[in-house]
Chains A and B, each alone.
Chain A
């Protein structure tokens, strides 16, 4: 009996904690002791539902990457450099949840950029679409104060004429003497000549390398380098060496990108969609509850109750994982509510049949659950199969990779699992407890 109560109370306590968490979040000043009580719930700040671009507003850009100009062996590292470079540029906009993703579509490389809540999309597009500019500039030793990037540019005013086009590639190497990582540079014929001249001019001075006018490194020239193979060493660990090499490659192995598709959703449209979706969902839910209670009476009431628990669990999981809610995701959620009731209807119809056969109430109930379970299992397996094909968990390129479709599939799959739990276990235990009480009366 206690064990059963525990099962029933498990989702209930979740409900309470969520409520407390929210209360705490809303009234931090009034109830400071509350945060003490629920100290183990440290997620509370992240508990806000996360909305996708279509609901929160923002821009999503899809680029085609032209890899034909880069030798095929260098493509993977060039792609990583490109991604890093675009991420760096996107960060300039200060968008908190910007997302830059490389995708491969049957051999074609794509770059997906998501900019939630962006205001000036044109500026972003111009900045992102630009090819990375690498330049090597010599030091002016008269300027000593090189702290901010503006003064930094003043400290290195002398363009050596070397740019990204002169750099063949940059690699991470290990120095054979002290086994420290270092960053190697390899120049082409013209670059070799220019670099020899630059290293002569700035021997024992510094040459800064700028990427898109931002300094990335400023090594001191120690030798004249005539063969076009330079090494930057210093206090690198593997990670920082890789980072620098990737930044240099962004200039050395530029991958031209061209925009394939662009979607911009204004913030108002999203709010409108959420608002209408919530109203529609609530009204649908009320009609559904009335239908269930009207049809199954007391049993219907129980199933509405377990449906309520279902909704709470689902929302809690959305918040905890967290799942980014897109518009199709919301529809998937609403659809899964309908499916959650399905398990109950299956069980109740079975239960009615058993009662008709003259079995006592509690026996009929257990039989109803037991027999309906087979159907529930098989039918939901089919839905999960389709859900998985839509969700495409292994990111197979011949299947859908669009975020919207996957968002829908994910909420649907999650909905099925949670609904089996609430529809079967929660309803069953609620009914068992109530049946016992009835017998005692």
Chain B
């Protein structure tokens, strides 16, 4: 199987995905959850049908800016600014007047400082994992072009995942929260997981037939490994897909983020990491012959 001849196609797919991601991120940015921006999220379950206008009125009376209110039968998800305890108590009281049997499902209020910290910590974690993996893979294969390729493929996946959530945020209201951060970081490791398996095969084949050029090596390695890559991703996809479809509301976006990450990770080992290695090897040979 000569998979590497599809390199222009891979390049096209990756560039398209990256371009769409960049476009969406620049145009629509992200819908950041209160984890990042600070603010309050209040989910309540009413015992009877409540008009949205009534809830809006309560917020007007309390001089609070209701940023977002979503009603789903008797459940309401309300978003508003960061409030203190006395304001919350007065809201509680007013809701009780409106519907004495209402139930608080979830209440969350986050100060604005925490969001900044989360952002910084995520960046630090990404940089740190990139470096650690770069060093580990580089030394494992005695060749830093492997490490750099794996890490670039990984960042490629992370960027596409971010782009996907920018799009999902714009069209379906998906939010970036601290769980998304976890999914993002897991994507990084899943992506590298696949890449390393393929690299491993290249190394093994190289020991057997060291005369072969890099392209044929890569080709036979990929065609030997691709069945396992796809099968393996399928198993993870089954687990995640059932979580996306059947899991609760909180689960949905988190699992979807992981799902996108895993699919990207499988593709990028073959479609990004290996072509990059070949690119490095080619430029090296060219400079040598000159």
Cβ proximity bits B191-212 to A, threshold 8 Å, 1 near / 0 not: 0111011001100100000000
Please, which residues of chain B bring their CB within 8 A of the CB of A371?
204
- Most chain B CB within a 10 A radius of its CB, from A268, A280, A292, A346: A280
Complex-state Cα separation, A268 to B248, whole angstroms: 12
- What are the residues of chain A within 8 A of B194 when measuring CB–CB? 379
- Judge if A105 is at the interface, Cβ distance under 8 Å: yes
B255 in contact with A331 (CB, 8 Å): yes
Chain A residues with CB below 8 A from B188, complex form: 386
- CB–CB B129/A276 < 8 A: no
In angstroms, Cα B224 to Cα A338, docked, is 21
In the assembled complex, the CB of B265 is this many whole angstroms from the nearest CB of chain A, namely: 11
Q: Which of B124, B224, B238 touches A291 (beta carbons < 8 Å)?
A: B238
Contact assessment for A276 and B248 in the assembled complex, using a CB-CB cutoff below 8 Å? yes
Determine whether A399 belongs to the interface, using a CB cutoff of 8 Å to chain B: yes
Q: Which of A84-92, A188-196, A228-236, A256-264 contacts B (4 or more CB under 8 A)?
A: A256-264
Contact A412–B186 (Cβ < 8 Å): yes
Main secondary structure of the interface of A (DSSP, over half): helix
A280 to B239, CA, bound (A): 8
| Bound CA span A339–B190, Å | 9
* Most interface-central of A261, A287, A327 (chain B CB within 10 A): A261
A208 within 8 A of B: no
- Let me know if B125 and A382 touch, CB within 8 A: no
Q: Does B65 contact A (CB under 8 A)?
A: no
Q: How far is the CA of A291 from the CA of B132 in the complex (A)?
A: 35
Q: Select B224's contact among A353, A400, A405, beta carbons within 8 Å.
A: A353
The answer to the question of A402 belonging to the interface, with a C-beta cut-off of 8 Å to chain B, is yes
Q: Are A382 and B136 in contact (CB under 8 A)?
A: yes
Query: Which residues in B have their C-beta under 8 angstroms from that of A339?
Result: 193, 236
Contact in complex: A342, B232 (CB < 8 Å): yes
Q: Is B242 in contact with A291, judged by CB distance below 8 angstroms? A: no
From known contacts A284-B241, A331-B243, A335-B258, infer whether A266 and B104 are also in contact, taking CB-CB under 8 Å: yes
Contact yes or no, B114 A287, CB < 8 A: no
Q: A268-B45, A390-B182 are in contact. Are A261 and B109 (CB under 8 A)?
A: yes
CA distance A54 to B248 in the complex (A): 13
Indicate if B103 sits at the interface (CB-CB under 8 A): yes
Mark contacts of B120-133 with chain A using CB atoms, 8 A cut-off: 1 yes-contact digit, 0 otherwise: 11101100110011
Given A105-B117, A346-B228, A390-B182: A331 in contact with B129 (beta carbons within 8 A): no
Q: How far is the CB of A257 from chain B (nearest CB, A)?
A: 12
- A272 at the binding interface (Cβ < 8 Å): yes
| Bound form: Cα–Cα A273–B125 in Å | 28
Question: A-B contact count, CB below 8 Å?
Answer: 212
Flag whether A283 is at the interface (Cβ < 8 A). Answer: yes
Beta-carbon contact of B193 and A284 below 8 Å: no
Bound Cα distance from A154 to B245, whole angstroms: 63
The digit string for A385-405, where 1 denotes a CB below 8 A from any CB of B, is 111011000000011101011
A284→B239 contact, CB < 8 A: yes
SS class, residues of chain B in contact with chain A? helix
Interface residues on A, range: 35 or more
Q: Give the segment of A17-25, A42-50, A122-130, A212-220 that binds chain B.
A: A122-130
From A383, which residue of chain B is reached at the shortest CB distance? B189
Instruction: Flag if A259 contacts B251 (CB, 8 Å).
Output: no
Nearest-neighbor residue (CB-CB) of B190 within chain A: A383
Is the pair A259, B132 in contact by a Cβ cutoff of 8 Å? no
Whether A383 contacts B193 by the Cβ 8 Å rule is: yes
Q: Verify A331–B185 contact, CB threshold 8 A.
A: no
**B254 touches A (CB below 8 Å):** yes
CA distance A341 to B204 in the complex (A): 23
Which residue on B lies nearest to A275, using beta carbons?
B248
Q: With A379-B193, A385-B189, A386-B129 in contact, do A295 and B231 touch (Cβ < 8 Å)?
A: yes
B-facing mask of A316-336, CB < 8 A → 1, else 0?
000000000001100100110
Beyond A379-B193, A404-B178, whether A335 also contacts B236 by CB under 8 A is yes
Shortest Cβ distance from residue A350 to the other chain B in the assembled complex, whole angstroms: 8
Distance from A378 Cβ to chain B, minimum over Cβ atoms (Å): 5
**CA A262 to CA B128, docked complex, whole Å:** 30
A408 CB–B CB distance under 8 Å: yes
Question: What 0/1 readout, one digit per residue, does chain B (171-190) give for beta carbons within 8 Å of chain A?
Answer: 00000001101100110111
Q: Which of B140, B182, B185, B239 contacts A378 (CB 8 A)?
A: B140
A-B contact pairs, 16 of them (CB 8 A): A126-B85, A261-B108, A263-B106, A263-B107, A265-B106, A273-B248, A277-B251, A281-B243, A284-B238, A284-B241, A331-B255, A334-B243, A338-B238, A386-B133, A389-B125, A409-B182
What 10 pairs across the A-B complex have the smallest Cβ distances? Answer: A338-B236, A386-B189, A284-B242, A280-B246, A284-B239, A264-B107, A261-B110, A349-B228, A260-B111, A276-B248
Binding site for A on B (CB under 8 A): 43, 45, 84-85, 88-89, 92, 103-111, 113-114, 117-118, 120-122, 124-125, 128-129, 132-133, 136-137, 140, 178-179, 181-182, 185-186, 188-190, 192-194, 196-197, 200-201, 204, 224-225, 227-228, 231-232, 234-236, 238-243, 245-248, 250-251, 254-255, 258
